[in-house]
């Protein structure tokens, strides 16, 4: 007989991946516990990452008058003097609501919530230590799912202090809005925060060692984003290495000096250091379970999300790309199903990506660069928001929707959007792409008027006309 364990499944981490794994297993009638080292559930996504940063962005868009400036002028703002408290007030309310919803979902599905830090003491045994020193508990589980997420990658040579030199986890603790800011790292998080602060009127300098930002995004969309960011007075130093960061107290107040490999120097009131994320696995004592973490603490898994120990699964950001909350949720659900012998279809390859910059970007499918490299003949069709009634009503004259399709079969190959509602609008293209549809679907469809969805029909006609030409 197999040994009896305290739980059929123990999930470590209560972010999107962990939450959905635990609930799925509970719905299969299993004994489930979820271990969270923080005092509240939700993980980085709810408490310091996705939810607060996107709510911060929405507050900036509203208070900064972003949506109305096309109609009322570039100087328009809902409030003249915007403070950090103005921005965080909205974020705090949303975070508290999401924490409550997450806890309610877990309790409603009879998932036991254990507060504490978990570490393996054997393949199926874990010790959970309460964060306030209120004892420890040893539990056993038939299966374990690691959903611990990531933390901001740091550098021992950088003088992080949470005030002048920040990681992305520190942004929400700012006590004032700086007049100038340097952002080191032009990945998704760096670009999002750089654009948010630039929209507030902060003079932002973006620094990255790569010659091009967001290499997985369609080049034309990236070029358009950079144009709009520069219009907001952002300076971009690309292809630059950072030699040192020093904090100075001078006659003009405290400043941070960033020295670049090319000899340039950048002065700013504060620096956001955002060069990526590191898997939160260092304190799990993985060796006791027969698991070894890889580069940056990330875990390797097979197609079923199993680690080197088949009864231990890993899901979400802790396994690396694509590190999206949406895919993490599905990974957690699929891992729980596989652990208990339930056959489910795997995550489809057609995944949408959303970058919540100002303006926002979303994409699904392949880029022009990928298709060119693969030698696939394609054509494009474009629609600009300023040509669409809803775009003008919404006050977004900068948006663009781009369709890429096969020249011969007319099959849809990619959808790329920059502008208001891009992360919502992309799902129409995702559905057509997933079902193998062609550009003609949009030509022959009728969309509500006035809506941004009309961009699909306009872009489709543009593409078909290019073929006819």
- Fold match between 7-152+278-339 and 165-275? yes
More confident residue, 344 or 243: 243
pLDDT digits (tens, 9 = 90+) for 404-413: 999 999 999 9
Statement: residue 398 has pLDDT above 50: yes
pLDDT digits (tens, 9 = 90+) for 260-306: 999 999 999 999 999 889 999 999 999 999 999 998 999 999 999 99
pLDDT value at residue 385: 96
Looking at residue 281, what DSSP letter applies?
A: -
Cα–Cα distances (Å) from 386 to 126, 230, 383, in that order, read 58, 20, 9
Q: What is the mean pLDDT of residues 397-403?
A: 94
pLDDT classification of 52: cutoffs 50, 70, 90: confident
The dihedrals phi and psi of 391, each to the nearest 5 degrees, come to -60, -45
pLDDT classification of 469: cutoffs 50, 70, 90: low
Extents of the domains making up the chain: 7-152+278-339, 165-275, 359-468
Q: Is the pTM of this model over 0.85?
A: yes
- The C-alpha R_g of the chain, in whole angstroms, comes to 24
Statement: residue 362 has pLDDT above 90: yes
pLDDT value at residue 30: 97
Q: How far apart are CA 138 and CA 146, in angstroms?
A: 17
pLDDT digits (tens, 9 = 90+) for 90-141: 888 888 999 999 999 999 999 999 999 999 999 999 999 988 777 899 999 9
Homologous superfamily in CATH for domain 359-468: FAD/NAD-linked reductase, C-terminal dimerisation domain (3.30.390.30)
Pairing of strands 312-314, 136-146: parallel
Statement: residue 447 has pLDDT above 80: yes
The pair of structure tokens assigned to 7 is 């739980």
The 8 Å CB, 24+ separation contacts for 159-164 are: 159/245, 159/246, 159/247, 160/273, 161/247, 163/270, 164/247, 164/254, 164/256, 164/269, 164/270, 164/271
**Cβ–Cβ < 8 Å for 145, 332:** yes
Q: How far apart are CA 313 and CA 318, in angstroms?
A: 11
Transcribe 159-190 into DSSP letters.
Answer: ---SSSEE-GGGGGG-SS--SEEEEE--SHHH
pLDDT value at residue 347: 60
Q: What is the mean pLDDT of residues 14-39?
A: 95
Q: How far apart are CA 171 and CA 225, in angstroms?
A: 22
Q: Is the CATH number 3.40.50.150 carried by domain 165-275?
A: no
Q: Decide: helix, strand or coil at residue 417.
A: strand
pLDDT digits (tens, 9 = 90+) for 21-30: 999 999 999 9
Q: What is the mean pLDDT of residues 218-238?
A: 95
Stretch among 47-51, 304-308, 389-393 having the lowest mean pLDDT: 47-51
pLDDT classification of 62: cutoffs 50, 70, 90: confident
pLDDT value at residue 1: 39
CATH number at 7-152+278-339 = 3.50.50.60
């Amino acid at each position: 007989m197999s040994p009896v364990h305290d739980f059929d499944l123990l999930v470590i981490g209560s972010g999107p991946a962990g939450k959905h794994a635990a609930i799925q297993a509970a719905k299969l009638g299993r004994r489930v516990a979820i271990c969270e080292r923080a005092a509240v559930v939700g993980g980085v996504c709810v408490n310091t990452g996705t939810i607060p940063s996107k709510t911060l962005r929405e507050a900036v868009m509203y208070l900064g008058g972003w949506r109305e400036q096309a109609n009322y002028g570039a100087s328009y703002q809902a409030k003249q003097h915007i403070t950090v408290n103005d921005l965080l007030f909205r974020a705090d309310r949303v975070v508290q609501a999401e924490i409550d919803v997450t806890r309610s979902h877990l309790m409603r599905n009879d998932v036991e919530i254990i507060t504490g830090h978990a570490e393996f003491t054997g393949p199926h045994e874990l010790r959970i230590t309460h964060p306030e020193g209120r004892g420890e508990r040893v539990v056993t589980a038939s299966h374990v799912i690691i959903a611990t997420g990531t933390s901001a990658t740091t550098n021992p040579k950088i003088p992080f202090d949470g005030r002048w030199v920040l990681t992305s986890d520190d942004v929400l603790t700012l006590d004032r809005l700086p007049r100038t800011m340097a952002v080191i790292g032009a990945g998704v998080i760096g670009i999002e925060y750089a654009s948010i602060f630039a929209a507030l009127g902060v003079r932002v300098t973006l620094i990255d060692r790569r010659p091009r930002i967001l290499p997985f995004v369609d080049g034309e969309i990236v070029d358009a984003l950079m144009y709009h960011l520069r219009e907001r007075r952002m300076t971009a130093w690309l292809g630059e290495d950072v030699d040192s960061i020093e904090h100075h107290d001078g006659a003009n107040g405290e400043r941070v000096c960033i020295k670049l490999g090319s000899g340039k120097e950048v002065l700013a009131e504060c620096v956001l250091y955002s060069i990526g994320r590191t898997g939160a696995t260092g304190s799990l004592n993985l060796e006791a379970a027969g698991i070894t973490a890889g580069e940056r603490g990330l875990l390797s898994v097979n197609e079923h999300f199993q680690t080197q120990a088949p009864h231990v699964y890993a899901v979400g950001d802790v396994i690396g790309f694509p590190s999206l909350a949406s895919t993490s949720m599905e990974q957690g659900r699929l891992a729980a199903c596989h652990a208990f012998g339930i056959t489910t279809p795997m995550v489809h390859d057609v995944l949408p990506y959303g970058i919540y910059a100002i303006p926002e970007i979303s994409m699904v499918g392949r880029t022009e660069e990928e298709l060119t490299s693969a030698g696939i003949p394609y054509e494009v069709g474009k629609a600009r928001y300023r040509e669409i009634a809803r775009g003008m009503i919404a006050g977004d004259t900068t948006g663009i929707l781009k369709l890429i399709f096969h020249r011969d079969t007319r099959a849809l190959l990619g959808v790329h959007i920059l502008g208001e509602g891009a992360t919502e609008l992309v799902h129409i293209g995702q559905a057509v792409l997933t079902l193998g549809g062609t550009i003609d679907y949009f030509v022959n469809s009728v969309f509500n008027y006035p809506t941004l969805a009309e961009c699909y029909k306009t872009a489709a006609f543009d593409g078909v006309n290019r073929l006819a030409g």
